[in-house]
């Protein structure tokens, strides 16, 4: 009887400890997501010093955990620069008499030039739905008068038929104002280029029935030399300090489109950044046989620029990386996780599945072929064994103003953290 009671008490204690641990992990990660995605960080982008505010916050966190600096000149920072088009001032759009909200109602193409209307301007209708080939597209372009104001319908047709894409489509247009109705999700980007035109995508459900006139004021500033920072730290290995397990994430996001539209980037990628910070704190208290490095990159949204710079200017030889895990959009793992490059790195993927089989940290672990859409890519291209893990969540917010901390469930993110901790231990046993 005593032994049975003892077993029950032990079970309850273990359950309570495990539950408290899970809650502690979630609270740790949640707090840092809320900080990184708060208005004072300005979307961790290219105006109001948002990116550098975030970089300093991460460095301060590293220091408080006891993580050692691995940047330039004994700091946590690796500095570099790139060009970027920014929207630091006024962004205003009115169609007929309806004033629209930046972000929910419309976005300005990120490569756009400035445009300032003194009064409402009449729009010329230009239907692109019949454009089927490059000859027809060339004819349409010749009909566009530089400096004109146009309402472009059927814009999806040439982008689909000619594989132009949003970025390429913008480069095809001359100087002028182009209003493009769009049905469905509005997705903003960052752009290192600037085009002659000003292109505004408007959610068609907020447009008047007969849009005829438009008043647009958009301030832009093209920054030739935008100074950015990667933030890098490590915990020294106890037995093989020259071998590394590396965790990466990008901490940057899109920032602000004018003063009123904040792209906070809670899931993309305050979530991955916060998970890396949790791992940094954990491993600072539990050093491993190998060194464990933590690399938080800027410039990802502008084209994986921070990770590209690091790979071209590594702090330690890339050959010393035993395995790299890149974490991007990990705020919700309700339906499991996906491991990009899991096909290429079958032994490590099988190890994840083996660890998961013991405790079911993730509901399901999916694997994908190689992709080039996050910071693992440049490492992988240089032969570093690297995977990219993202959560299979329930909400589709991405590159929009709705990607906020309150929208993140953190479901099973504690399990992902434990899976990565166990994976690190197993990899360093080799």
Instruction: Give ranges for CATH 3.50.30 in the chain.
Output: 90-218
Choose among 114, 103, 377, 375: nearest CA to 255: 103
- Torsion angle of C-alpha atoms 110, 112, 118, 124, degrees rounded to 10: -110
**Using omega within 30 degrees of 0 as the cis cutoff, is the peptide bond preceding 146 cis?**
no
pLDDT score of 12: 41
DSSP state for residue 213 in the 8-state scheme: E
Contacts of residues 127-130 at CB distance under 8 Å and 24 or more positions apart, as own/partner, are 127/153, 127/154, 128/152, 128/153, 128/154, 128/155, 128/157, 128/158, 129/153, 129/154, 129/157, 130/154, 130/157
The Cα 279–Cα 294 span in angstroms is: 9
Report how far residue 148's alpha carbon sits from residue 189's, in angstroms, rounded to the nearest whole number: 25
- Rounded Cα gap, residues 151 and 124, in angstroms: 6
Q: Among all chains, which residue has been given the structure tokens 């079958």? A: 346
- Residue 221: strand, helix, or coil: strand
Query: CB of 86 within 8 A of CB of 47?
Result: yes
Quote the CA–CA distance of 156 and 344 in Å, as a whole number: 35
Q: How far, in whole angstroms, is CA 196 from its chain's centroid?
A: 27
Q: What is the pLDDT of residue 23?
A: 59
- Is there a contact between 289 and 419 (Cβ–Cβ < 8 Å)? no
Say what the pLDDT of residue 19 is: 44
Q: How far apart are CA 271 and CA 276, in angstroms?
A: 9
Enumerate the CATH 3.40.630.10 domain ranges in the chain, comma separated: 23-84+224-427
State how beta strands 255-257 and 261-263 pair: antiparallel
Please state, in angstroms and as integers, the Cα–Cα distance from residue 341 to each residue in 316, 366, 388, following that order: 23, 11, 7
Structural contact between residues 395 and 407, judged by C-beta atoms closer than 8 angstroms: yes
Which class does domain 23-84+224-427 fall in? Answer: alpha beta
Q: Kind of pairing, strands 98-99 and 91-95?
A: antiparallel
Number of other residues whose CB lies within 10 A of the CB of residue 182: 16
If you write DSSP's letter for every residue of 407-424 in order, what string do you get?
Answer: G---TTHHHHHHHHHHHH
Instruction: Report the pLDDT value the prediction gives residue 4, as an integer from 0 to 100.
Output: 57
- pLDDT of 173 reads 95
Q: Which residues of the chain fall below pLDDT 50?
A: 1-2, 5-20
Please tell me the pTM assigned to this model.
0.93
Render pLDDT for 133-159 as a digit per residue (tens, 0 to 9): 999 999 999 999 999 999 999 998 888
Joined together, the tokens standing for residue 274 give 């916060």
90-218: CATH topology: Glucose Oxidase; domain 1 (3.50.30)
Give the DSSP per-residue string, 108-146.
E-TTPPPEE-SS-EEPEEEE-TT--SHHHHHHHHHHPPT
Local structure of residue 335 (DSSP, 8 states): T
């Amino acid at each position: 009887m005593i032994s049975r009671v003892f077993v029950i008490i032990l079970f309850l204690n273990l359950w309570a400890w495990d539950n408290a641990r899970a809650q502690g992990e979630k609270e740790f990660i949640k707090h840092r997501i809320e900080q990184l995605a708060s208005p004072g960080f300005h979307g961790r982008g290219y105006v109001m010093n948002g990116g550098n505010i975030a970089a300093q916050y991460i460095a301060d966190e590293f220091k408080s955990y006891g993580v050692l600096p691995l940047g330039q000149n004994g700091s946590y920072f690796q500095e570099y620069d790139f060009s970027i088009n920014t929207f630091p001032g006024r962004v205003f759009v009115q169609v007929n008499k309806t004033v629209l909200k930046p972000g929910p109602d419309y976005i300005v193409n990120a490569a756009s030039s400035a445009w300032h209307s003194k009064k409402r301007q009449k729009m010329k209708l230009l239907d692109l739905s019949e454009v089927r080939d490059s000859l027809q597209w060339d004819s349409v372009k010749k009909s566009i008068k530089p400096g004109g104001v146009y309402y472009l319908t059927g814009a999806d047709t040439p982008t689909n038929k000619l594989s132009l894409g949003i970025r390429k489509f913008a480069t095809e247009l001359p100087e002028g104002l182009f209003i493009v109705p769009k049905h469905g999700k509005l997705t903003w980007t960052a752009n290192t280029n600037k085009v002659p035109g000003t292109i505004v995508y408007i959610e068609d459900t907020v447009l008047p029935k007969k849009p005829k006139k438009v008043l647009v004021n958009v301030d832009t500033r093209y920054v030739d030399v935008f100074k950015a920072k990667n933030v890098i730290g490590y915990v020294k290995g106890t037995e093989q300090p020259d071998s590394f397990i590396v965790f990466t994430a990008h901490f940057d996001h899109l920032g602000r489109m004018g003063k009123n539209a904040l792209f906070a980037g809670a899931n993309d990628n305050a979530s991955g950044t916060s998970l890396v910070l949790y791992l940094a704190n954990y491993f600072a208290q539990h050093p491993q046989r190998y060194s464990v490095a933590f690399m938080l990159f800027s410039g990802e949204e502008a084209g994986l620029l921070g990770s590209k710079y690091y790979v071209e200017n590594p702090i330690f030889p890339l050959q010393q990386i035993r395995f790299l895990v890149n974490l991007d959009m990990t705020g919700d793992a309700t339906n499991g996780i996906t491991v990009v490059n899991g096909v290429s790195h079958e032994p490590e993927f099988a190890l994840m599945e083996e660890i998961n089989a013991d405790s079911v940290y993730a509901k399901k672990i999916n694997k994908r072929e190689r992709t080039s859409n996050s910071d693992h890519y440049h490492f992988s291209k240089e032969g570093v064994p690297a995977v990219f893990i993202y959560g299979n969540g329930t909400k589709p917010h991405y590159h929009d103003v709705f990607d906020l901390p309150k929208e993140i469930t953190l479901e099973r993110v504690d399990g992902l953290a434990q899976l990565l901790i166990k994976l690190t231990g197993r990899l360093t046993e080799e």
